[in-house]
Amino acid sequence: MKILFIGDVSGQVGRKMLQEHLPVLREKLSLDVVIVDGDNCANGYGITEKICKEFYALGVDCITTGDHVWNQREILSYITRDPSLLRAANFPDKTPGQGACLKTLPDGRKILILHLMGRVFMPEALECPFIVADKILSTYQLGTNVAAIFVDIHAEATSEKMAMAHYLDGRVSAVVGTHTHIPTADSHILPEGTAFQSDAGMTGCYDSIIGMDKETPLLRFTKKIPGKQRMFPAKGEGTLCGTYVQTDDKTGKTLKIEPIVIGAYLKNTLIESL
């Protein structure tokens, strides 16, 4: 199975990059599944029903979120009607929405997409993501009732993301991190066949501070002005960052993991090399 995961889409610039490049990537890589983290789509804060539908029209199969999932109030009612829009599975049981979805491809192959959120340095008081992962995965097994399992862990600490990947090694196809908006250079396959990358990076403007216009964050850091000023996404040239994973349909283990970078500021990867 050929899976493309796009890291945190930030603001209008990020959405534009997705619109320009995703249809080409879907065709060029013969993708089976496209997953996008949409935690910062709506002017940097959460996502809306309109944006979700725009993403699906581009060929996105599933949207994950993160700590900004509830910033747009309309999402509280919409998420209950859209099984392809995920909030972290380790929110309390009665939280609207769901933290995992099972997708069936036209040829019958199935992929489970699981969304978790870390707890180290994160604002939400959530359930233990390790226990929640065990509970959900107890009914799915690679190579039997699912061909692949992809995990997006939205977390601040690389150690927590790495710990999750090693904890799930052999039980899932891939664990890829989001939230820090910085693409990491550690993509590799773990001993039992699970692919891992600490962070897929941001899809947005990198002439910024994690996607936001530089002025307000700089004031917070240099002059210690109270953080009441609202930050807005930067509006310069965009870059798309993501992770490509190819799995063995028989075992669900990963055959290949490669980062994808297209656009300004960062060194681009060569899609041909994939």
Catalytic residue numbers read 68
Q: How far apart are CA 124 and CA 120, in angstroms?
A: 10
Residues sharing a CB contact under 8 Å with residue 94, sequence separation 6 or more, in sequence order:
none
Given a contact cutoff of 8 angstroms between Cβ atoms, the answer to whether 194 and 173 are in contact is yes
**Cβ neighbours around 250 below 10 Å, total:** 9
* Residue 272 DSSP one-character state: G
**Cβ neighbours around 23 below 10 Å, total:** 12
**Six-digit token string for 163:** 């710990």
Residues sharing a CB contact under 8 Å with residue 97, sequence separation 6 or more, in sequence order:
79, 80, 85, 86, 87
Helical ranges in 107-253 per DSSP H:
129-137, 158-168, 215-223
